[in-house]
A and B are shown apart, each in its own frame.
Chain A
Amino acid sequence: MDVFLQTLVAGILKGGLYALIGLGMTLIMGVMGIINLAHGQLMMVAMYATYVCFHYMGIDPYWALLISMPTLFLVGVVIQKFLLNPLMKVESILPENQVLMTVGIGMVLTEIMRFIFTSNYVSVKTSYSAAARFVGGISFSVPLTIAFGFACVLTLLLFWFLLKTDIGRSIRAVSLDGEAAELMGINSERVKAITMGIGAALVAAAGTLLLPVYYLFPDIGGPFTRKAFIITILGGLGSTVGAIFGGVTLGLAEALGATYIGMAYEDMVSLVIFVVVLLFLPGGFKRLTKV
């Protein structure tokens, strides 16, 4: 029973981070209708930024959030403005050119990072990386718990932003009906750029928060993109609340899989979930709960 509870805790804590990843992607999908296959690569870039902050400037990852998030925000805006927005105007036979474009972007990001940092594994070992607190006989990983806390704060900030600010409302308007939003005076191109920036910033936060308990190498983007996609689909495309549920679900599934099946199969587990979710749950949790 203890092992089970332990697994649950680990799963939920990690799930909080996953929710951040999913929130970013679902925003992008909901507003722009783009499946961003470079999402994991953006996270990887943020993780390298965090690594640089820690290794070369002695900045603790949690402070590095203040650097990685804005940086990736800018990266997201630039990508949307110069590479993705122009695609809306291109008329071609090529199907799925938007998704392909994100694949290309992901490859470029990965290779640039490989160029700078080589393919070697790196990690960030802070004083608390391996620390744990015991509450009621269950071990709570300190970095994961703090990360979970940050994830909650950021999620609440995001909801406040989307519900209460003008830009947030514009974003929601564009996601509901882009054309109508344009007709009502919203500069949807700008809104899309900002949304991509926010999505990138959120996944950057996830990366920064995850780095103390994970490892980093350039090809780590791919698996995370896949996870982002699973979370988004599980939660229902474009549903921010759904992304939270999706993130926690995936966190739990992975934790349970790791405990009861074995670490080697973690990749297979997420692959199978990926396929099953795509084929049988097109509406995600959203469909089941009408959120």
Chain B
Amino acid sequence: MKQYTRPLICLAVLIALPWIVQHPYPQHLMILILMWAAIGSGWNLISGYTGQVLFGAAAFFGTGAYTAALLVNKLELSAWWGLPLGAVTSVLLAFPFGWISFRLRGPYFALVTLALNEIMRSIATEWESLTEGMVGLLVTQTWVSKVPYYYVALVLAAGSIVAMEFITRSRLGYYFVSIREDQDAAESLGINTVFYKMVSLCVSACMIGLAGALYTNYMGFIDPKVVFALHDISIVAILVGIVGGVGTIYGPLVGATIMVAVMEGFRSGAFGLLHILANITGSPLVATLTKYVTQAHLLAFGVLVIMVILYLPNGIMGDWPILRKYLFFWKRGSA
């Protein structure tokens, strides 16, 4: 039980957080972090644990998001039904997709997931009679305060992580890793690799789709460009996974925290600090700098991908021993 003290303390803090921090903007950031922790866990399951890299996570995110939105738009049901149904539709998408695509190995599978992402986006954009196309869909929000959404997101994130704990210790977890390490050896040891890859993909799609449905409920508005975004959703999902730690359970949580910090840090100009600075100094240089920084988050992502792959390929949780050595070395050096 001792190994769970840190996660449980973390959970306790997270549960108490909205009472400690009452300002809506940090609450918004926390909701994003929890949402990305769920997406990252889903990505990690199929890509990190099972070794079938998902380049197009947005395909499932958007499916969940649109399911929730369409329930309101077409059937006049509450968008919250989108959570269970979004999970279902994501799995319904994952199943035939995996069936057709798992014959492809490694990078080719990754590329087909990219294609799936683009195809789903095209469908959402072109099938206007269903989705209103680029105009997008509006959903009335259930609550004004962010706090209830926070707790839903917390349940989602905690649930994903608990699920990962169970899965990794079970037959599924062992089989997934066997497939990742060497698919042929796994088959020779009696593992039906096609079946288990499908299971992994469906569970991942489920987690990611749930997050998408939550997004619709929380933001109140979706359109194809946002929920099927390649760079802002699919690539971020990958970053959450690789920064936090591929193939670790808590990696996605760490990765989500960092990625949200990076994303929002750039978009808001260092959380509004740059804007303040520009106003105080009145300097055009600072103003231009602010303008560039607020648009630079994609550049930051690209650089981050390169840096992580080169220097921290197993992520923060994965390379923690090495990282710790550097941190201590640095601390001792400056003493």
Contact = CB atoms under 8 A, between A and B. Distances in A.
- Direct chain A–B contact by Cβ atoms under 8 Å: yes
Interface of A: 35, 83, 86-87, 90, 92-101, 103-108, 110-112, 114-115, 222, 229, 267-268, 271, 274-275, 278-279, 282
A106 B302 contact: yes
Interface in B309-326: 309-310, 313-314, 318
A101 B306 contact: yes
B259 to A, nearest CB: 14
Nearest 4 CB-CB pairs, A to B?
A104-B305, A107-B302, A92-B313, A111-B299
A38 B55 CA distance: 15
A83 B101 CA distance: 30
Interface stretch (B26-34, B69-77, B110-118, B209-217): B110-118
Given A83-B306, A103-B305, A107-B235, A95 B51 contact: yes
A93 B306 CA distance: 16
Interface of B: 47-48, 51-53, 55, 100-101, 103-104, 106-108, 110-112, 115, 118-119, 122, 126, 180, 230-231, 235, 238, 242, 246-247, 292, 295-296, 298-299, 301-306, 309-310, 313-314, 318
A95 B47 CA distance: 8
Interface SS of chain A: helix
Nearest to A92: B313
A99 B115 contact: no
A95 B298 contact: no
Contacts of A101: 305-306, 309-310
A108 B110 contact: no
Nearest to B118: A271
B306 A108 contact: yes
A87 B126 CA distance: 40
A229 B310 CA distance: 25
A275 B116 CA distance: 8
Given A90-B310, A108-B302, A100 B242 contact: yes
Contacts of A110: 298, 302
7 contacts: A83-B306, A99-B110, A104-B302, A104-B303, A104-B305, A108-B303, A115-B296
Contacts of B122: 267-268, 271
